[in-house]
Structure 1
Amino acid sequence: MKYALLCTLAIMASSLFAASEPIKNTVDEQSLKAFSSTAYPKQVTEIIPNKVYHVMGYAHSNASFIIGDTSVILIDTLDSESRAMTLKKIIAEHTNKPVKTIIYTHGHPDHRGGAGVFMDTAPEIIAAAPLKPVLGKMNALKEVFDLRSIRQHGYQLSDEEALSQGIGIREGITTKQGDKQVFVAPTTVLTERKVVREIDGVTFELSGVLGETDDHLLIWLPTYKVLFSGDNYYGCWPNISPIRGGQYRDISAWIDTLEKMLSYNAKYVLPGHTRPLMGESNVKEVLTNYHDAIEFVFNETLKSINQGLSIDQVAEVVKLPEKWAKLPYLGEYYGTVEWTVRGIFTGYMGWFDENPTKLHPLPAKEHAKKTLALMGGKKAVIVAIQDALKKRDAQWAIELADIILAIESNHKAVKQYKAQGLIILAQKETSANGRHYYFAYAKELLAD
């Protein structure tokens, strides 16, 4: 019943969307669909003949494997048990040597969720220790982080609603096939910033760096000029400030990491998501643009903050120049520039935006009551919400709805209006994470 209502609201929202005049240069879910259909096709790429392979499109994340003298060195293990079993079969198609070493590029679950499949050969599992300590008692927030992660990644959405997870197909645990994650803890945890190891005839340079996580490894094969980047590069705007929350991701350090990646003069870059970069000139061009775009947003944000602008003002004025925004590998299909700006602001300045009005604001309910009275009461605001939805002014509609819901949180009609507005916004969203959050929250409103 609730799903049928959501579908009805989606149809209504689509009708409103289609009935309005077309807007030039509008980007919406169609661009996300196009990106999702081309950015990570199912393929195994032989990077170095009979030696280095990149596996993409078989899971939300990528994996790579290197054939050593007597064994296989595996870089990440895909996101779930059944998908790792497919990876195991792929490896067997290229060699009968056993997997004796696994290296995690970082600790995100989608990169190590299939590790248990490879335990029959008792591999050494190598990972990096975090370069920054985790905030104390972070586990006390597990429930809210889990909830927000479910929304961000669209775990409870249908395939049609979710489309993808932005930088890869949906995780195996969302496919309703009983898939599961089989994590295995590392047996070797590197605490040095740089370690050079010979593993079964292959020289590895392992460097601990900061980026999307605080426990990332850059994995460099100097003999073959192959760099495994983990999630420090993938082919769209990165998730620099995830909407699910979490510790501040040090963007200045991430920029430093991209500079380090450029310093290798790699011929191949194999990312943890999306397509590999092939060719030294292409690698240099892409990584340079990626670095420069992020550095521009970072510097412009700091400059705007220093001018005394509020967080909303900074988010409004800092935009990615067209020369970078038009590049296919900097599209906002996962993270967004606006969320990056907001993350930088709060990371450096905290919650206070310099406006003394915000030092002791009215309680939300009291503020809503006073606002509602000035606007002519509940009926007038509901009419305004309905009018905003007809005009496809969905952001205004949900902001008006929030005024009523701050006073009357279970107002059924207003919750449905807000859900309809969220669906309209989802249809206009290029970020998979943003799309998922809109749809997931709409479902929650209708389920209450």
Structure 2
Amino acid sequence: MTASSSCSSFSFPVALVALACAFGCAHAFAQIAPKPPEAATLKANADMAKTLPFANRQDFEDAMRGFIGTVPDALVPGAGPRPAWSMKPYDFLKANEPADTVNPSLWRQAQLNAIHGLFRVTDRVYQVRGFDIANMTIVEGDTSLIVIDPLLTAETARAALDLYYQHRPKKPVGTVIYTHGHADHFGGVKGVVDEADVAAGKVQVIAPSGFMETAVAENILAGNAMSRRSQYQFGTLLPPGARGQVDTGLGKALARGTITLIAPTSTVDKTTEERTIDGVQVVFQLVPGSEAPSEMLMYLPQFRVLNMAEDVTHTMHNLYTIRGAEVRDGNLWARYIDQARVAFAGKTDVLIAQHHWPTTGQARIADLLKKQRDMYKFINDQSLRLLNQGYTAADIAETLRMPASLEEEWSARGYYGTLRHNAKAVYQKYLGWYDANPANLNPLPPVDYAKKTVQYMGGADAVVARARDDFQKGEYRWVASAMSQVVYADPTNRAARELGADALEQLGYQSEAGTWRSAYLVGAMELRNGVPKIPGGSSSNADTLKAVSNELFFDFLGVRLDAAKAEGKTMVINWNFTDSNQQFVLTLENSALTHIAGQQPGADATVTLSRATLDAITLKETSFPAAVLTGKVKIEGNRAKLGELMSMLDTFEPMFPVVEPRK
């Protein structure tokens, strides 16, 4: 077993987010320029502009309330030539009228998310907004600062804190609070505190119960696929522009930079828990299984501020996120919002969240909470009502409409989640993928299905010819679907690729959801130019690996096992971790890799090492052979068995094809 083979075999893509190519690297490979809007798109966007109350500018007033200052373009330099963050590429949003290639409702949201700087929420409570996809909230304690959610990267978090210090007294950060385990809410922690200060007890880090178990684990086992799909959801492969990436709906974009993680020194374990932190009273409310598996809200009674984390923002959120994740429970989400409303709304003057802008005034806060509560409950209950009538997921998505009382509510618009894919999520949660029609129980696989479909339709040339006519009629959904069939039947069919790209592009220009726009436009770009030859995104580093339990590590090895290579082979390997005193038996049998606590006498080999050494091997800082030579790894028994196991593990291609079949 060579050093290189052992390193690659243990690569561990912790795909918390897709970080590849934010802020313009798409220019390096984009070959065919985006096209202008078609007449049907111009009409669709013009019609949309007539349906919503664009004259209502309350959100813009709220987003600017308390503005203190910023830095030009919110520029945050990066380690290389590209910045970690900049709003300069989004100057096109300063135009008075929406671009004709952007849904006017999304344009409005994109303008709001382009507002950046330091803002006073109320006495001793501040937010830095527009310096990353999320917000950093800063609460002034008696002698120190409480930082809530230190953004996605250390670079943007450091810049946000520096901006605060330009305008406020330079108290040290004494407490960091993570509201939940998504990377844009913890990744910048080392930009605001030093890990040595945490270890020394000078800084405390507070998180909801289960944070470390879920912060990384949610995206590991399917992490490679999620990372690639995130490029579609967030548009990280697209250059910013009126024909490119405009907004994610939740915030402007993902920052580039270094994702870090410091483990909590304390967790909130009770459903409701009160603490005093450096003179600041905080009431925590656990809301697990809402927007994240581990999440909490908080109320600051001294300042009459309610922080709804990511459970109440100025958009419809995701019950299902199109990057891929477990479906979230809309009924539970609604219940948590109502519990917060009953407990805190009557004594709250300002509602904030870790995305978007605050809402002020008790009446408006109560109204927002009720409408967000009812939005998630409506989607959950009405989707269940329709599925109980025999409607399929696609039927429900096409049939369901928001009630008139929510239809014109800006905070209930689908900028990030959408009614269509959230309704399908409810169906998936309760009934799964199968719609009960036996014809769909075991259909042909995509390529075979596509070939037969194209054949039945008269061949590729006939399909493309008919689709050109439908494109001129503005039937872009159908054209995109039909051309996908032709491309899957023959990926080299240039006419189908180009017409499919044209259809996806028009759908993107019409999309109100930033996520849908990005997905359509990335799909169009890849149909025209192929899969970009760039490294895939990964946030695997020493910080994030610490959050991976030994059990999850072995689970991931099982996911990577190539069953064909393992056919007929058996082995048992004992693992001893010297730092945690944990012991495991890893067993290969029947092309399945299982593990259990303990040790098995007569195992083929026994591996003794520290978790830190295993992490170093995972990060390719060393290898098993090198670690054996330095004494950091001890292998008793048949060493060849470990090498044999490594040779059976797959490495995943991060930039696999999406809009065309695998070769």
Same fold (TM over 0.5): yes
Asked if the contact 1:132/1:214 (under 8 Å) is kept, the reply is no
**For 2:158, which of 74, 85, 97 is the aligned residue?**
85
Shift in Å, 1:205:
1.3
Corresponding residue for residue 24 of structure 1: 47
Name the CA shift for 1:182/1:360 in 2 (closer, same or farther; >3 Å).
Answer: closer
Match of 1:362 in 2: 444
2-structure distance, mates of 1:132, 1:66? 24
Q: Deviations over 1:121-180 (max 9, x none)?
A: 54211111339986999623211010001211111110111112212122221xxxxx33
1:353 and 1:257 map into 2 onto residues whose CA distance is: 30
| Matched residue type, 2:205 | I
Q: 1:15 to 1:70 in 2, by over 3 A?
A: same
Cα displacement string for residues 302-324 of structure 1 (whole angstroms, at most 9, x for unaligned residues):
11111111111111221112220
The match for 1:176 is none
Deviation at 1:410, TM superposition (A): 3.0
C-alpha separation in 2, matches of 1:2 and 1:66: 44
Q: Secondary structure of 1:332's match?
A: coil
Question: Which residue of 2 is the match for residue 401 of structure 1?
Answer: 483
Alignment match, 1:384 = 466
| Structure richer in helix, relative to its length | 1
Note the C-alpha offset of 1:200.
Answer: 0.7
Gaps of 5+ in 2: 1-27, 52-101, 531-663
CA change 1:111–1:20 in 2 (3 A) is closer
* Alpha-carbon displacement from aligned partner over 1:215-265 (angstroms, at most 9, x marks no partner): 111111123221111110110111221111111111111111111221112
Moved more, 162-171 or 36-45: 36-45
Q: Tell me whether 1:148 sits opposite 2:226 in the alignment.
A: no
**How does 1:231-380 map onto structure 2 within 5 Å?**
231-263=310-342, 264-265=344-345, 266-380=348-462
CA distance in 2 between counterparts of 1:83 and 1:360 reads 48
Partner of 1:125: 205
With the length of structure 2 as denominator, give the TM-score of the two structures. 0.63
**Does the 8 Å CA contact 1:81/1:116 hold for their aligned counterparts?**
yes
Question: Where does residue 4 of structure 1 map in the other structure?
Answer: 31
Contact 1:394–1:424 at 8 Å: present in 2 too? yes
How many pairs are equivalent? 438
- The CA distance in 2 between the partners of 1:20 and 1:193, in whole Å, is 50
Hey, what's the Cα distance between the residues in 1 that align with 2:376 and 2:477?
Answer: 27
Look up the equivalent residue of 1:198 and give its one-letter code. Answer: T
Q: How many Å separate the matches in 1 of 2:185 and 2:213?
A: 21
**Does residue 170 of structure 2 align to residue 170 of structure 1?**
no
Aligned to 1:106: 180
Contact 2:157/2:189 (<8 A) preserved? yes
Measured at CA, do residues 21 and 44 of structure 1 come closer, stay the same or move farther in structure 2, by a change above 3 Å?
closer
Q: TM-score, normalised by structure 1?
A: 0.91
Aligned to 2:533: none
In the other structure, the counterpart of 2:138 is 65
> What residue is the counterpart of 1:196 in the other structure?
274
CA distance in 2, matches of 1:354, 1:138: 30
Please tell me whether residue 76 in structure 1 is matched to residue 149 in structure 2: yes
Q: Which residue of 2 aligns with 1:96?
A: 170
Q: Take 1:297 and 1:132, find their aligned partners in 2: how far apart are those partners?
A: 31
Letter in 2 for 1:128: P
SS class of match (1:335): coil
Give the one of 240, 247, 259 matched to 1:181. Answer: 259
CA 1:67–1:420 in 2, change beyond 3 Å: closer, same or farther?
Answer: same
CA–CA distance in structure 2, aligned partners of residues 89 and 313 of structure 1: 51
Bigger shift: residues 417-426 or 34-43: 34-43
- Partner SS state of residue 276, structure 2: strand
Structure 1 residue 17, shift from structure 2 partner? 4.6
Distance 1:165 1:33 in 2: 11
Q: Is the 8 A contact 1:226 1:269 kept in 2?
A: yes
Aligned partners of 1:76 and 1:112 also within 8 Å: yes
| Alpha-carbon shift at residue 293 of structure 1 (Å) | 2.0
Paired AA for residue 502 in structure 2:
Q
Contact kept in structure 1, 2:38 and 2:506, CA below 8 Å: no
Is the Cα contact below 8 Å between 1:172 and 1:180 reproduced in 2? no
1:19 Cα deviation after fit: 7.4
